[in-house]
Chains A and B, each alone.
Chain A
Amino acid sequence: AQSVTQLGSHVSVSEGALVLLRCNYSSSVPPYLFWYVQYPNQGLQLLLKYTSAATLVKGINGFEAEFKKSETSFHLTKPSAHMSDAAEYFCAVRRGNQFYFGTGTSLTVIP
């Protein structure tokens, strides 16, 4: 079965520090991969997507993610955290018209 694992349900970083949110997928064939962000009381917003065109994907708000087939990973990074980055982040994989979401990582940014 298709699944996504997000390591760390809560991550805290200082403002200006590196953000690293981990995502691993289970699939023998590289799928379509996504990162979504959810701010309080809002829906999910697409941050970036992997389509196999390039292993390093740049998204909105300075985020990027690197697809590593050998590690079946798609970790999300941002060089310098901003207070406005505090939110819930979800990794997702698509197979056909089925989407599978991870359980989410809550990012806290400490001033």
Chain B
Amino acid sequence: EAGVVQSPRYKIIEKKQPVAFWCNPISGHNTLYWYLQNLGQGPELLIRYENEEAVDDSQLPKDRFSAERLKGVDSTLKIQPAELGDSAVYLCASSQNARGRGSIGELFFGEGSRLTVL
């Protein structure tokens, strides 16, 4: 079974430039998460989708960040314009809502997209 796929793995841009990250969750996983991970810290939620609906975006800086999940599968996270403080790793994770077969909706993470803003 394929895992969560993210791209690009690494991105270096200058401040004020736009950047976009893409995530393809595990097939059948209804819930998709975008997390921000700063160096030496744990992941912090940016936005959570249930199918195509953003059900928790309270931590998403909406002045410069946007996200979408068309058709309830793939998702993109965009930053425009990027600031120096946005340098971090952006993690995508997915989980399935259905319980059973030992699942309690645990998160499965992609490898992350490391952003460096110069």
* Cβ 8 A contact of A44, one of B45, B56, B109: B109
For A34, what are the chain B residues with a Cβ–Cβ distance below 8 Å?
A: 106-107
Q: Say whether, besides A51-B104, A94-B104, A97-B105, A41 and B114 are in contact (CB < 8 Å).
A: yes
Q: Say whether, besides A41-B114, A97-B48, A101-B42, A46 and B91 are in contact (CB < 8 Å).
A: no
Interface of chain B, main secondary structure: strand
Contact A45 B42, beta carbon cutoff 8 Å? no
* Cβ 8 A contact of B107, one of A99, A102, A104: A99
For B44, what are the chain A residues with a Cβ–Cβ distance below 8 Å?
A: 101
For chain A, give the interface size range: 20 to 34
Interface of chain A, main secondary structure: strand
CB proximity to A under 8 Å, residues B26-45: 31, 33, 40-45
For B52, what are the chain A residues with a Cβ–Cβ distance below 8 Å?
A: none
> With an 8 A cutoff between CB atoms, is A72 at the interface?
no
For A90, what are the chain B residues with a Cβ–Cβ distance below 8 Å?
A: 42-43
Contact B112 A104, beta carbon cutoff 8 Å? no
> With an 8 A cutoff between CB atoms, is A111 at the interface?
no
5 contacts between A and B (CB under 8 A): A44-B93, A45-B109, A97-B56, A98-B45, A104-B40
- Name B residues whose Cβ lies closer than 8 Å to a Cβ of A: 4, 6, 31, 33, 40-45, 48, 50, 55-56, 91, 93, 95, 104-112, 114
